Every structure is written in C-alpha cells, then in structure tokens.
RNA sequence: UGUUGAGUGGUGCAAUGGUGAGCACAUCAGUCUUUGACACUGAUGAUAUUGGUUCGAGUCCAGUCUCAACAACCA
C-alpha cells in the first residue's frame, strides 16, 4: 500500500526523465569538500541525494571535492565518511576529484587547442578590475590573444612548476561582456605550490571548482547533479564546458539550502565558534554539526525524518528548530528507557515507614514498547524528590506536593505531606510525610485518586551522576541577519551543568548505544566524557512541559 | 539602471485551469493519564499586489512590489 505523496520538483524531473527513456536509472553524488565537518544542511543534501537514487533506482557516489590543497585535510575525510555512514547511507564508490587531475589537465589542454582557453599573467587585482560589475561590461585581458602554441607552452610550464603562485592562471575565453559574471573568462586553473592530502607534491597547479565539478560529474556519468541555489549562475558555465569538451552531459539542478533558526549553518561561522572557543569543538553537543547532534543524542532516524518533513524546494527558508525537536522526541519516546533522576533534591522522610525496610518497586522500562519489560527500583524511608515538586503555598491547579496534599510516587506509594522542616535561613531541608500502605503501585486498594505523580530516588541507594543541560546556542532566530557580529548573539546560558544529580541505581550501568528518558525531565544519553569515576549524561531534548508554559503566562 | 531565482496561515511543504486551498510543526481550548510526557478531539490562521484571459485562476498572460544570489587564483 503506497501512500500517495506528492513529488518534489526534483522527483518530478527524475520521474519524467525515466518515463521518457532519457535514462534507465539515475546516478547522483554527494560532493563535500574535506575542509570542515558536516552539518545539518549537509544532512539534508545527503538524504536528498541518497534518497533519490534509492527511490528511483540507481546509485550515489561519495566524491570529495578536493581541489584546494591549502584548506583540505584527511581528518575531515574520515569524519565525513563516518557521518554519512552514521546517517544510514551507503555510497557506491568513494571518489576524489583529485583522482581525475590527469584527465582534468588533458581537458584543459583540449580547451586551449580549441582556442577556448588562455594563460593570463594578470594579477588577481587586475583581473577583478577588468571583470566589470553586474551592470557594466568587463574588459579583455591583454593576454587574451596569445597564440595556441604559446598558451600550450605556458600552461605546461605552469604545471612543471616554473612559475610562482599567483603569477599565471588559465582562463576560459568566453565573453568579457557577458551578463553572467561567471562567463567573463572564468579562471580554470591556478598555481599553488602546496602539498595535497592525496596527490602529495605531484601537482602545483589545481583546477578551480568550475573546471573540476562538472567534469567529475561527467566522468562518473552522474545523471542528476544536485546542488544549492548559489550555484545557479554556475550552471551556464557547467553546461558550456561540457559542451565544448564534448563529454558525457551531466545536468545540474539546484535547490534551496536548509536553514534552522537559533543557530548558524555555514562552515566559516562554525569554524569561528570552534577556533574562538565559544564551544568545545566540532562535536560540542550545541553545534548543528552531524557529530554535534550525534553526541547530543539525536538518532539518525530522527534526522532522516526531519529532512523528509522539511522537504525540498527553491525558496529561501528558515525551518523551526521545534520541528527537529519534535522529530527526535517522537523517535526517542519509542526507544528510550525510562529512568528516574533528581537534579535538585529535597529530602522526604516517610515517618510511618520502617527504618531498615527496603522494597523493590517494579517499573516499566518503556510503556510504549509492545514487548514491555521492567526493572526494579529500591524504595526506602528516606527519599529525594525534586525541590520544584513541592510548594508551601501552591497556586491553583498545582498537582504536586504541598502541605496536606497527596501525590503518587511513580511506581510506588501515594504519600501525604505532614510537616515542613526548615533551617535557620528558612530553606526547606526536609519534608516529613506519611505513605499509604494500601496504595502500592500495581496493588492499589486505596481508591484514592491523585492528580500528580512525582519521580524520586532512594537516598541510600542513589548514584551520583553529572548532567549537562543544553539550550539553544543563540538568543535570536537568525544571528546572521542581525546587526553586528553574529557572535554577539550567543546565548551565554546554552550550557548548564548539574555536577551531582541523584539517579536510580540502574543508571550506573548506562550504555552508549542506549537512550534514556529521565522521567518528567527529558531525553538523555551517555556522554563520551564518562569514565570510571563519573558518569556524564547529555540532555538531548526536554520533554514538552505545558505546566511550565502555563506558569510563564501567569 | 543588469542577469538569474523566489513570493501560499507563525514555520516548512502540497494543491500540475475545476468541491469549502490540504498536510506537518507551532499556537489556543478540551479529553485521557501512576510521566502536567505520550495519545486523542476540536479551533484559530494563508494564495505579495494590480489588471487581463476564462463558465471557472493560487495555477495562464502583462505590469508593479518585495526578498535572495552573482564582481574569490574558495567550493
């Protein structure tokens, strides 16, 4: 039973291409530059490219666009591969634009022989000046009319390392008055005496994006080359080069990159946050990087669902982070093990409970799980509950504990608060309560109905854990569009650490691949900083809290 | 004063000339609840604008307005 979901514009194009017989199967590619870590915007592109070939039949290559040796590193290659795999996708071939450097060089020579490329000795400043503006035509370079022979010779000498960086470039010979600035004799090759992460010192000239990307697509016989909107003006050049070179005609299609509010999504800005230590690294759980959200506890399933829900189109957009949070809550609700942890404790003493008695309470690991399992939690005379779960003078509709009021302790007994004990400063140090023996969970004959249920831990059995609570990294929706520097809008309280929270014993053996819901608190996962001496949890996302919202209104 | 692309509830997508412009998130009001979670019910709310074609326009045509991208030896 296939649910009839409308196709996005790329799916429509592909369906038409398949129906018309233009292609019998499709080929896409994900082409990251290995100069940084992948972020949520890339996740969208990954889901799109891999999703399309899966849906329509075909394959997707992972191709590193490594044509700029000065910014690219193997470390990034590894992280990118890990991220793509983690998201749940398999590429057909792992490829590198640098694999094609010989072919690309031959293509460049061919362009020269066709009289469609020339070596220019102008400096970058001179070139910029001669380029004109969007509304004014540019001027021809004085080197534009060199003979084919001279160009061949010069280009070969560029390759042989006879010239210093910046002294010469190879340019396409198109039209300096073209309305598309990119068609005004774009640079095809430049000299860079730099060590390349894969080709080492073999080359000292490297192709520019436009001389490498479309050609790589063509070599791999990519049918649908999908990129973001800022490459729209490049398409004309993409097509021009393929046409003149008479190579396999790949086609470029553009979609709008996805933005998310309360964060930034450009490598340059993310790099600044890392370098200037506003965060602790690329995988800081507050970062919108794949490695960041992974460490934060997001699941691949939830990210794929998110990318699927936001869809793909050609208009500018800023997606609400709330949707991502919804997606991860929805998935985590299904898989997370329920546990009880008290962050800010206040002691409860059950005056009618035997001093040395310990009962093991039976509690479900996950009520959403069809094959429900349980764990046992020790219960005793002295317990911790959350300080905010008690109020001496509660407002209306307050379901939690208050003098004379009753609440249920999750999976245990109903208790009533009889007495509040305070210290000299008036701070509450202890709540003296009585429990209702006949109200035991699963065996309740009390017939008493209470509105509130609290989480708790037994004082003598509690284990201490560190909990890291994250909030949005920025205090405004779109930091990049605000006045001044985007970093002026960083949320100073994006990380709050609870050094010692009190957890039920089961969490002592928490595992990295498990997800937890701390009941009434949120979803959490084990952080890599955990060790023998201390367990650390990251809050992935809070639970929805309609009570907190109601209180804010008041 | 250029070229290219884009304008549908608060947000993201859909409606491919034909019911009352649909879906999700968010918001609001309820129901349920041993998580104020989850689940469930209902509600609010949009075609940038002007004119035209047509029996009929979000969709086609013309104009206007708004936004974005384009002048790196980055990708």
pTM of the complete model: 0.96
Q: Please report whether residue A3 resides in a domain.
A: no
CATH (domain of A229): 3.40.50.620
Cα dihedral A285, A290, A291, A294 in deg (nearest 10): 70
Whether A59 and A202 share a structural domain: yes
Whether A127 and A88 share a structural domain: yes
Count how many Cα atoms sit within 13 Å of the Cα of residue A97 in the half-sphere of its side chain: 29
Whether A38 and A150 share a structural domain: yes
Average pLDDT over residues A434-462: 96
Token pair 């809550």 is found at A329
A420 touches strand B (CB under 7 A): no
Number of domains in chain A: 3
Q: Which two tokens stand for residue A355?
A: 């001093």
Chain B bases near protein CB atoms (7 A cut-off): 1-8, 10-16, 24-28, 34-39, 67-75
Find, among A456, A540, A465, the residue nearest to A510 by Cα.
A465
Q: Determine whether A257 is an active site residue.
A: yes
Whether A284 and A365 share a structural domain: no
Q: Render pLDDT for A67-102 as a digit per residue (tens, 0 to 9).
A: 999 999 999 999 999 999 999 999 999 999 999 999
Q: Render pLDDT for A290-303 as a digit per residue (tens, 0 to 9).
A: 999 999 999 999 99
A63 contacts A161 by C-beta, under 8 angstroms: no
A509 touches strand B (CB under 7 A): no
- What is the C-alpha separation between A419 and A183, in angstroms, rounded? 82
Whether A68 and A174 share a structural domain: yes
Does the structure show a pLDDT above 60 at A399?
Answer: yes
Whether A292 and A372 share a structural domain: no
Share of chain A above pLDDT 90, in %: 97
- What is the C-alpha separation between A151 and A147, in angstroms, rounded? 6
Whether A427 and A507 share a structural domain: no
Q: How confident is the model at residue A5 (pLDDT cuts 50, 70, 90)?
A: confident
Q: Determine whether A295 is an active site residue.
A: no
Decide the pairing of beta strands A345-350 and A516-518. unpaired
Whether A245 and A376 share a structural domain: no
Q: Please report whether residue A460 resides in a domain.
A: no
Phi and psi at residue A53, in whole multiples of 5°?
-70, -30
Rounded, the Å distance between the CA of A489 and C1' of B65 is 32
CA A461 to chain centre: 38
Rounded, the Å distance between the CA of A332 and C1' of B26 is 20
Find, among A366, A286, A380, A376, the residue nearest to A331 by Cα.
A366
**pLDDT of A4:** 62
- What is the C-alpha separation between A155 and A161, in angstroms, rounded? 10
Q: Please report whether residue A1 resides in a domain.
A: no
A86 touches strand B (CB under 7 A): no
Q: Render pLDDT for A469-501 as a digit per residue (tens, 0 to 9).
A: 999 999 999 999 988 899 999 999 999 999 999
Whether A121 and A64 share a structural domain: yes
Q: Please report whether residue A261 resides in a domain.
A: no
**pLDDT of A1:** 34
Q: Please report whether residue A354 resides in a domain.
A: yes
Q: Which two tokens stand for residue A190?
A: 């430049």
Q: Which two tokens stand for residue A254?
A: 């553009």
Neighbours of A495 (CB within 10 A): 16
DSSP tag of A367: T
End residue of a domain, out of A211, A231, A255: A255
Q: Render pLDDT for A498-511 as a digit per residue (tens, 0 to 9).
A: 999 999 999 999 99
Q: Please report whether residue A521 resides in a domain.
A: yes
Determine the structural domain holding residue A71 and report its residue range. Answer: 9-255
């Amino acid at each position: 039973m296939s649910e009839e979901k409308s196709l996005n514009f790329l799916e429509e194009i592909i369906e038409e291409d398949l129906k018309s017989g233009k292609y019998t199967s499709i080929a896409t590619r994900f082409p990251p530059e290995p100069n940084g870590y992948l972020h949520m915007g890339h996740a969208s592109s990954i889901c799109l490219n891999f999703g399309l070939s899966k849906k329509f039949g075909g394959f997707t290559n992972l191709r590193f666009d490594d044509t700029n040796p000065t910014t690219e590193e193997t470390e990034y290659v590894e992280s990118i591969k890990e991220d793509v795999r983690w998201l749940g996708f398999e590429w057909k071939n792992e490829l590198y634009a640098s694999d094609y450097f010989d072919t690309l060089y031959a293509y460049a020579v061919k362009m020269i022989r066709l009289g469609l490329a020339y070596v220019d000795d102008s400096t970058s400043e001179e070139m910029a000046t001669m380029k004109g503006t969007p509304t004014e035509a540019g001027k021809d370079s004085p080197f534009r009319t060199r003979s084919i022979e001279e160009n061949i010779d010069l280009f070969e000498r560029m390759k042989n390392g006879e010239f210093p960086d910046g002294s010469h470039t190879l340019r396409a010979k198109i039209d300096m008055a073209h309305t598309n600035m990119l068609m005004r004799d774009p640079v095809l090759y430049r000299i860079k005496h730099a060590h390349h992460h894969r080709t080492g010192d073999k080359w000292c000239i490297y192709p520019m994006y436009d001389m490498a990307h479309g050609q790589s697509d063509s070599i791999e016989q990519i049918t649908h080359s999908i990129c973001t909107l800022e490459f729209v003006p490049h398409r004309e050049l993409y097509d021009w080069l393929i046409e003149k070179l008479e190579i396999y005609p790949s086609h470029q299609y553009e979609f709008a990159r996805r933005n998310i509010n309360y964060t930034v999504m450009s490598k340059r800005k993310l790099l600044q946050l890392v370098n200037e230590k506003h965060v602790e690294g690329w995988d800081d759980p507050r970062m919108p990087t794949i490695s960041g959200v992974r460490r934060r506890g997001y699941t691949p399933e939830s990210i794929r669902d998110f990318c699927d829900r936001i869809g793909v189109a050609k208009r500018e957009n800023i997606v609400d982070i709330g949707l991502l949070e919804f997606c991860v809550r929805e998935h985590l609700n299904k898989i997370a093990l329920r546990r009880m942890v008290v962050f800010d404790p206040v002691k409860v003493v059950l005056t009618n409970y035997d001093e040395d008695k310990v009962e093991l309470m039976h509690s479900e690991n996950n009520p959403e799980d069809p094959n429900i399992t349980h764990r046992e939690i020790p219960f005793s005379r002295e317990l911790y509950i959350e300080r905010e779960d008690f109020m001496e003078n509660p407002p209306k509709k307050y379901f939690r504990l208050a003098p004379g009021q009753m609440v249920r302790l999750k999976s245990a007994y109903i208790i009533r608060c009889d007495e509040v004990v305070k210290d000299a400063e008036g701070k509450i140090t202890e709540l003296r309560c009585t429990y209702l023996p006949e109200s035991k969970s699963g065996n309740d004959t009390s017939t008493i109905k209470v509105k509130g249920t609290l989480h708790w831990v037994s004082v003598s059995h509690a284990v201490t854990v560190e909990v890291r609570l994250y909030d949005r990294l920025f205090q405004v929706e779109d930091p990049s569009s605000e006045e001044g520097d985007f970093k002026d809008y960083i949320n100073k309280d994006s990380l709050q650490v609870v050094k010692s929270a009190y957890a039920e014993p089961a969490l002592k053996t928490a595992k990295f691949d498990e997800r937890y819901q701390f009941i009434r608190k949120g979803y959490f996962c084990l952080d890599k900083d955990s060790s023998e001496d201390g367990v650390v949890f990251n809050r992935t996302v809070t639970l929805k809290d309609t009570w907190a919202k109601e209180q804010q209104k008041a």
